[in-house]
C-alpha cells in the first residue's frame, strides 16, 4: 500500500490537454488550474458511478466479510473489486497520475508516485454498514496536486446522490450547494464515528465522557460510521458538524474538500505531530458555514493532551 504522506515528493507540473481529457497541458495560471480541477471532477464522477453501481448491485445480497486488524475492521471482496475498478478507470483516463487507496489488490499497478496528480480513494467507505445491510456507505474519490485538494466526489450508491466539488464550488447532483448559516450548538446535529473500540482502548474513560457530553450539548448525535458520508452530509447541510480521530487520507480527503467548497470549515488535528495538509492529519473537526462549536474544540484538546502524555510515558 502506498504511503499516506506525499508532501516531500518533488512537484511536477500537472498536464492535461485541452482537446483530450486524458492529457491536460501544464497549468501555470489560476484559470487553467480551475479548468483542470473541473476535468478531474468529471473523471472522478464517471469512475465513481461505475463503482457505485457495483456496490448497489451487491448490497444486501449476503456478501461475506473478513477481519483486517480486528473484529471491528471489516473488508469484503466488494472493497477490492471497487478498488480495482476505480484504479484502472482513473489511470486510464489520467495516465500521468497515481492512486492512493485503502485496499491493496495484488498485481494492481497504482501509477507513478512522481506523477503530478494524486487520486485518494476509498472504494467502500462504511464497509461494516454495507455488510450489515445498513444503507450508509459510499464511494469516495479526491484529486490532489502537490498535496492541494482540487476535486472530489462522494457517491451514495443507495440513494444515487452525487456530492462533488472543484475549485469553484460544491455540488449535489449537479446543482450548486449554497452556504447557509448553521444553528448554535444546542440546536445542532453532530455526526461522529468516535469513540470506536480502538479509541476507547486508547483514551479510556475520556472517550466515554466526551461522547456523553456531546449528547448533552448537541440537539442530536448520530454515530453513522462513514467519515466520508458524514462530511458530505455537512457539506449538504444535512448535518451541522462532524469530528473524527484516527483517520487516514482516504477516509476524509474527498469530504474535506466538499465541506470547504460548500462554505464550511475543515480543520486537521495533528495532535502535536508534523504539520502538513489537513487531509493527512490523523483527526479533524468539520463544521458548516459560520459554525464554531466549543464542545468539539474541547474534545480535540483533551484527546491531544491525553495522547501526548501517553506517548511521553510509552503507553
Is 124 assigned a ligand-binding role in the annotation?
yes
| DSSP 3-state percent helix, strand, coil across the chain (nearest 5) | 40, 20, 40
User: Is residue 2 packed enough to be buried (19+ CB in 10 Å), middle (13-18) or exposed (0-12)?
Assistant: middle
DSSP notation for 186-216 = GG-EEEE--S-HHHHHHHTHHHHHHHHHHHH
Partnered with residue 125 across adjacent β-strands are 138
122 annotated as a binding-site residue: yes
DSSP string covering 5-30, please? Answer: --TTSPP---B--TT-TTSPPB--SH
Q: 226 — phi, psi (to 5°)?
A: -155, 100
Q: Where are the beta strands (DSSP E) in the chain?
A: 66-67, 74-75, 97-101, 117-125, 138-145, 148-155, 162-165, 170-172, 175-176, 189-192, 220-222, 241-245, 265-268, 283-287
- CB 258, CB 170: distance < 8 Å: yes
**Is the distance from CB of 147 to CB of 119 less than 8 angstroms?**
no
Q: Is residue 79 marked as binding?
A: no
d(CA 25, CA 216): 53
Residues belonging to the binding site are 102, 122, 124-125, 251
Residue numbers belonging to the annotated binding site for Mg(2+): 102, 122, 124-125, 251
Amino acid at each position: 500500500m502506498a504511503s499516506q504522506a506525499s508532501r516531500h515528493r518533488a512537484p511536477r507540473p500537472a498536464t492535461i490537454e485541452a482537446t483530450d481529457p486524458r492529457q491536460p497541458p501544464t497549468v501555470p495560471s489560476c484559470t487553467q488550474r480551475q479548468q483542470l480541477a473541473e476535468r478531474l471532477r468529471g473523471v472522478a464522477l464517471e469512475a465513481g458511478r461505475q463503482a457505485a453501481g457495483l456496490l448497489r448491485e451487491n448490497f444486501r445480497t449476503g456478501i461475506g466479510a473478513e477481519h483486517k486488524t480486528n473484529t471491528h475492521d471489516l473488508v469484503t471482496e466488494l472493497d477490492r473489486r471497487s478498488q480495482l475498478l476505480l484504479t484502472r478507470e482513473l489511470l486510464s483516463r489520467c495516465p500521468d497520475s497515481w492512486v492512493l487507496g485503502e485496499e491493496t489488490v495484488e498485481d494492481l499497478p497504482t501509477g507513478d508516485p512522481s506523477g503530478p496528480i494524486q487520486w485518494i480513494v476509498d472504494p467502500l467507505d462504511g464497509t461494516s454498514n454495507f455488510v450489515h445491510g445498513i444503507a450508509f456507505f459510499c464511494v469516495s474519490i479526491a484529486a490532489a496536486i502537490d498535496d492541494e485538494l482540487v476535486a472530489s466526489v462522494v457517491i451514495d450508491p443507495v440513494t444515487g446522490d452525487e456530492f462533488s466539488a472543484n475549485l469553484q464550488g460544491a455540488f449535489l447532483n449537479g446543482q450548486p450547494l449554497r452556504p447557509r448559516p448553521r444553528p448554535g450548538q444546542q440546536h445542532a446535529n453532530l455526526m461522529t464515528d468516535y469513540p470506536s473500540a480502538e479509541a476507547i482502548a486508547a483514551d479510556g474513560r475520556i472517550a466515554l465522557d466526551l461522547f456523553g457530553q456531546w449528547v448533552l450539548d448537541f440537539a442530536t448525535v448520530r454515530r453513522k460510521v462513514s467519515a466520508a458520508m458524514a462530511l458530505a452530509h455537512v457539506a449538504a447541510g444535512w448535518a451541522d458538524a462532524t469530528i473524527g480521530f484516527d483517520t487516514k487520507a482516504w477516509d476524509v480527503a474527498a469530504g474535506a474538500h466538499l465541506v470547504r467548497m460548500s462554505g464550511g470549515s475543515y480543520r486537521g488535528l495533528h495532535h502535536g505531530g508534523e504539520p502538513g495538509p489537513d487531509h493527512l492529519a490523523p483527526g479533524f473537526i468539520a463544521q458548516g458555514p459560520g459554525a464554531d462549536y466549543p464542545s468539539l474544540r474541547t474534545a480535540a484538546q483533551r484527546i491531544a493532551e491525553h495522547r501526548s502524555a501517553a506517548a511521553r510515558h510509552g503507553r
